[in-house]
Amino acid sequence: MNYPIQMYTNPMDIVDTFVCKVINNDFNLWHIIILLMKKTLILFFLVTGFVIYGKAQNTNDVLNLLIANKVITQEQADSVRAEAAIKQQESDANKKSFPLNTSRQIQLSGYTQIRYQNLEEKGKASGFDIRRARIDLKGTISPIWAIRFQTELAGSPKILDAYAECKLADYFNLTIGQAKVPFSLENLASSNKLELIDRSQVVEALSARGKDVIGNQNGRDIGIQVGGSFLKINDLPLFEYRFGVFNGAGINTSDANSAKDIAGRLVAHPIKGFAFGGSFYNGWDVFGKTTPIEQERSRYGLELSYDWNIFSVKSEYIHGKDGITKRDGWYAQAGAFIIPQKLQVLFKYDTYDPDKSKTADASTIYILGVNYNFNNWSRIQAVYNIKQEQGPKVNNNFGVIQYQISF
């Protein structure tokens, strides 16, 4: 019988597979007696082969050496390779990360999201698009210094994260460069970890994302920030904090004025799985191209979340001020796994008022969502959004399906 040939670095996988075949009576009694007599010799050849050949050789060479010395037959070696190949594939499928061979400890990862939108609003076309395509590089330079570089390739390529981090202690970490601003629970969640496809309306509008007055900065800015955790109880930190000073102009751009913006977040974890806290942002930014004006851009928010077994709930309220315009909104989300680690269902109530001085411009979205995780690196998400607005009635409900694959 012919089997595929594959390289393995762990000799014990070969021995375990070989012994299993003996136990399963794949060989006759005569073979069993011979193999028992040769057990010590097999281990000797495996160890000696790796010592002698080192990095220049591989497991396949060791098996060939055993065949040449008539310790095992070609058919037995092929059978061992096939059995070990299945075990290796199962192991690789469950891995969350793989090593990268560099002069420093580097972790390379990335993901892409392919989306289909079914838009019910008249005049808008449904279709596919590449929502995100990101490459993320993290490196450890020394016991206390680390770096991160993440880029977005979908749409207009841009640098998202580019910073160095100094980890002096659990209670004090220093971050220098372009990174996420410490504001809002949902803003800080990685896009490939979101339970629903889109962030809430208020988060998109008041945390330097798609609908903010400063444009879509992916929740990031250039500056310096400190953070950490302290007061551990049963190895769990009771508090975590982060505070930073930023340009206030967004990613990949210089500041437009001499003033600097500040932001901070404090979260408490009184019991395992439960967290609540608040965050703030205060700054002065320049708006307008023809007649630039400098005006206040400030926000504050409250948040809570709880994960217990298969259930999860989270909620946020955010209030913002841009010049004289005041805005606010909140959301509440609940989810549960129908099949643990695999199939999850979610519901979200999402409401936002873009101008508190007006009476008919708020919008509310009821969101029904389903996620299915194929494994650690592949999942599909589906949501249906029922949108209600205080203004003119428009049928602008929409459904979205998104497939995500990562490495």
- Superfamily (CATH) of domain 105-406: Porin (2.40.160.10)
Closest to 176 (Cα-Cα) out of 106, 214, 126, 227: 227
Q: How confident is the prediction for the chain on average, in pLDDT?
A: 86
Higher pLDDT, 311 or 106: 311
In this predicted model, what pLDDT tens digit does every residue of 55-100 receive, in sequence order? Answer: 334 567 777 878 887 778 888 878 888 777 777 766 766 666 666 6
- Residue 34: what pLDDT? 52
Amino acid of residue 340: P
**What is the per-residue pLDDT across 337-377, written as a single tens digit (0 to 9) for each?**
999 999 999 999 999 999 999 988 999 999 999 999 999 99
CB 316 within 8 A of CB 302: yes
Query: What residue has token string 């799985």?
Result: 273
Residue 369 CB neighbour total at 10 angstroms: 21
For the record, the structure tokens of 53 come out as 């050949």
Q: What are phi and psi of 336, to 5 degrees?
A: -155, 145
CB 236, CB 269: distance < 8 Å: yes
Q: Where are the domains of the chain?
A: 11-93, 105-406
Give residue for tokens 């290796």.
88
CA-CA distance, 228 to 102, in Å (whole number)?
29
Find the angle CA(210)-CA(149)-CA(151) to the nearest 5 degrees: 45
Q: For a pLDDT cut of 70, what percent of the chain falls above it? A: 81
Confidence band for 289, pLDDT divided at 50, 70 and 90: low
Q: What is the DSSP letter of 195?
A: S
SS (H, E, C) 165-212: EEEEECCEEEEEEEEECCCCHHHHCCCCCCCCCCCCHHHHHHCCCCCC
Crossing angle for the helix pair 11-23 and 59-68, nearest 10 degrees?
Answer: 50
Q: Summarize the confidence of residues 320-332 as an average pLDDT.
A: 97
SS3 350: strand
Nearest to 111 by CA among 93, 135, 131: 135
The separation between CA 29 and the C-alpha centre of its own chain, rounded to angstroms, equals: 53
User: At a CB cut-off of 8 Å and minimum separation 6, what does 176 contact?
Assistant: 163, 164, 165, 166, 224
Residue the block writes with tokens 């010590």: 40
